[in-house]
Structure 1
């Protein structure tokens, strides 16, 4: 909702002279923005805005065409970018230290799923050429050599960790079988004809960081009928849930502290604390209000990069138990197709009723909880779109209705609940 100029003149007077000087000159909306709360301003891509106050890291108070309101920072730029940003320095910098690799190597369900696929299909991988996209520490490449005796493995890693991966390959006596390439996958010089592409590309909400694009690029480069990609398919799961403790911690916290009323901060808390998902949430099975559903299925053989720009997922849940619905949770499942018909498919599932992985689950909290009863139907869409400028980042837009399950209910057309989440910009 746009905020009228006359009723908010105080908002225009809070910048210091230094701030005015620092923020002189307009910024531009890099994409459309439809307000999701009071006090927010509507934006169209290319629209010029003047920043009057940098309220916090997520929202700035701006003026445009005589209208005032809060604008999301991730929608503003000094110029309208014609070239997307991949944040490679930030992204590969994170993978250049050991923190993330320690977390991934310590994740037994993750690593053992890949190892089981390799071991079960070892005979079919013998004398084959394998490409490990984003090899990290080289664990998958070395497991391939240890268990499957391939012709050769190309381990591609763009971060600085590749220097230590090379040393690990040498220490394990595998230098003649594994070539470590410190480069972007798309630029890697590989002369052999690849038989298997293996990669652990999955992130928050399955797609965050968009490493999947590098895998698809390599698939297109080495495409042939017999090419295998592991994982072969992926599914994103969604479930409505209650999360009272977490909601209280982030929002109800502001009602009273030390006997004082801080509820005036709740609007800001919604903008700061609830606009992004919680990526390391552990969802208790008992907090699921319905049976989880697969709302997105990806086939790595046929999936196109372009189709990842904007994905609309339909969902409809029948509530199992009456409770307060605080939001939704997501997780994913990937499958490793067998290389022969007599082998079983290896599955890695990161859901709440499976062994905990480093991905855990992702919690999306609504601004206002919704009361639901057994038999109610939650029907709507989840739209996942790539940030038009920051290409590794996503947006998740929920649009749904709670339809009462009781026939005698007089509510025929309940209003929609809508909310945008930024993953992470």
Structure 2
């Protein structure tokens, strides 16, 4: 009996159980399975119909549709197509905190920017390029945009009287040809969980090709932040509703609701400061002058949180901060913070829900690691792995868990269930 195997472009969240805790997946001849991990020569971890489990590799064969490697692993048509729409440009321009942060950076560095050559990579409508031209009097600004919005950016540059300074280049950074090197490379490349969509690779390639020695990158640094949190309102809305709607018992749907609503990251979450169970920390930090493209394949961070108040642990929330080093020595480094203690941005925060809530007591410790593992095939996707443990108490015991999230372009797909379970650390390492 032979089966078909196919790859998926949708985001997947799944759990790696201990090797001795085998969960087998039932299937029939002709089913198309999504293989997540080729665990060994004999057993693969696969998904079918929202369920995950081990399948014997000898029963599967490659789907002929997947043998066609002509499909773009960067999905540029979809990616740049979305950035060519006014809907997305409006969302970014309407983000006052984000746009004002870049304006303030240029304003604060207006004197040292005078006479310099600037590249604005992924310029969109050109707002940052126009800020540079209007506020800093640079020698030249190269506004680089790969999407079709670049045609309109040229019009906006002329309409704002900046055509003598700003030149628009339409094309990908990897294929870019400029008149010469630049003194400053500025870009707004960040995505959910800081790296999602991986525009940062284009920025690093442009840096290596076009930034002068001693030049400046803006942002100059970036940090991924994490905190254990409560999400009672979200949990109650999705789970409590089924208890007695209209006087009827719908609790049979709670397990389905749990799978559908909690088994994937919530990308547009607004975390309230009072829902933080501990002080947030930076788990991954990047230096944009020294970061290499190869470093993006796998990034690892550690965390230790001291619970500051008793509460219900519903999950982890992440966001990012980026820093803009001054061009002048000893001047203030400016920062854009997308977290709950700052003005909201269009990125908001990303919530990773647990399968079920856990009660935490003040003084307890939540510690572990986070891994960002880039998808080896679909290059704008990544897997987020959070492995954590809670210090031993009468209420929680010695609880440990590992949850894996695959972030893809389509944020609306149905995802399999996430389970919380105790395990030994050595049982998980083989999956990281």
Name the TM tier (shorter chain): 0.7 to 0.9
Query: Matches of residues 85-100 of structure 1 in structure 2 within 5 Å?
Result: 85-100=73-88
2: CA distance, partners of 1:82 / 1:134: 27
SS at match of 1:225: strand
Structure 1 residue 26: Cα displacement:
0.9
SS at match of 1:141: helix
Structure 1 residue 241: Cα displacement:
0.4
- Asked whether the equivalents of residues 43 and 57 of structure 2 are also in contact (C-alpha less than 8 Å), the reply is no
Structure 1 residue 382: Cα displacement:
1.2
Q: What TM-score results when the alignment is normalised by the length of structure 2?
A: 0.81
Structure 1 residue 77: Cα displacement:
9.1
Instruction: Return the structure number with greater relative CO, CA threshold 8 A, min gap 6.
Output: 2
Q: Could you say if the C-alpha distance between residues 346 and 215 of structure 1 is closer, same or farther in structure 2, counting changes exceeding 3 Å?
A: same
Query: Matches of residues 193-342 of structure 1 in structure 2 within 5 Å?
Result: 193-342=181-330
Q: What TM-score results when the alignment is normalised by the length of structure 1?
A: 0.82
SS at match of 1:26: strand
2: CA distance, partners of 1:96 / 1:195: 28
Q: String of CA shifts for 1:214-253, please: whole Å, max 9, x gaps.
A: 1001111124431110000001111000111101223343
> What is the RMSD of the two structures over their aligned residues, measured on CA atoms?
3.3
Structure 1 residue 35: Cα displacement:
4.1
Query: Matches of residues 143-162 of structure 1 in structure 2 within 5 Å?
Result: 143-162=131-150
Structure 1 residue 38: Cα displacement:
9.7
Q: Could you say if the C-alpha distance between residues 387 and 270 of structure 1 is closer, same or farther in structure 2, counting changes exceeding 3 Å?
A: farther
Q: Could you say if the C-alpha distance between residues 77 and 371 of structure 1 is closer, same or farther in structure 2, counting changes exceeding 3 Å?
A: farther
Q: String of CA shifts for 1:82-114, please: whole Å, max 9, x gaps.
A: 787111111111111111211111111111111
> 2:37 matched to 1:79?
no
2: CA distance, partners of 1:387 / 1:77: 21
> 2:110 matched to 1:119?
no
- Asked whether the equivalents of residues 118 and 186 of structure 2 are also in contact (C-alpha less than 8 Å), the reply is yes
Aligned position for 1:360: 348
Aligned position for 2:177: 189
2: CA distance, partners of 1:80 / 1:190: 38
Structure 1 residue 390: Cα displacement:
1.7
Q: Could you say if the C-alpha distance between residues 87 and 262 of structure 1 is closer, same or farther in structure 2, counting changes exceeding 3 Å?
A: farther
Query: Matches of residues 371-382 of structure 1 in structure 2 within 5 Å?
Result: 371-382=359-370
Which of 38, 63, 68 is the aligned partner of 1:45? Answer: 38
Structure 1 residue 297: Cα displacement:
0.5
- Asked whether the equivalents of residues 279 and 360 of structure 1 are also in contact (C-alpha less than 8 Å), the reply is yes
- Asked whether the equivalents of residues 185 and 211 of structure 2 are also in contact (C-alpha less than 8 Å), the reply is no
2: CA distance, partners of 1:53 / 1:349: 37
Structure 2 runs not aligned, ≥5 long: 26-34, 410-432
Structure 1 residue 410: Cα displacement:
10
Which of 50, 56, 60 is the aligned partner of 1:65? Answer: 56
Aligned position for 2:165: 177
